[in-house]
Amino acid sequence: MKNADELRQERIDEEIIVDCYDDDEVMMGWYYYLEEKLTFPFTARYRASGKGRGKKTTQLLQVVGMADEDECNREIQVMILLQEDGVEDQIPVALSQLEGVEVDGATAEAIADWHYWVG
Name 74's Cβ contacts closer than 8 Å, sequence gap at least 6. Answer: 27
pLDDT in tens, 35-86: 999 999 999 999 876 555 555 667 899 999 999 999 999 999 999 999 889 9
What percent of the chain stands above pLDDT 70?
92
* Ordered DSSP codes for 85-103: TTEEEEEEEEGGGEEEES-
Q: Hey, what long-range contacts does 46-54 have (CB within 8 A, 24 or more apart)?
A: 46/80, 46/93, 46/97, 46/98, 47/97, 47/98, 47/99, 48/97
**pLDDT-derived band at 1, boundaries 50, 70, 90:** confident
To the nearest whole number, what is the mean pLDDT of the chain? 92
pTM: 0.89
> Architecture of 4-118 per CATH?
Roll (2.30)
CA angle 70, 48, 4 (to 5 degrees): 75
List the domain boundaries for the chain: 4-118
Region 80-104 average pLDDT: 95
Sign of CA dihedral 75, 78, 83, 88: positive
Count the Cβ atoms, other than its own, within 10 Å of residue 73: 13
Q: Between the CA of residue 99 and those of 17, 31, 102, 106, 109, what are the distances in Å? A: 23, 17, 10, 14, 11
pLDDT in tens, 62-75: 999 999 999 999 99
pLDDT number for residue 58: 78
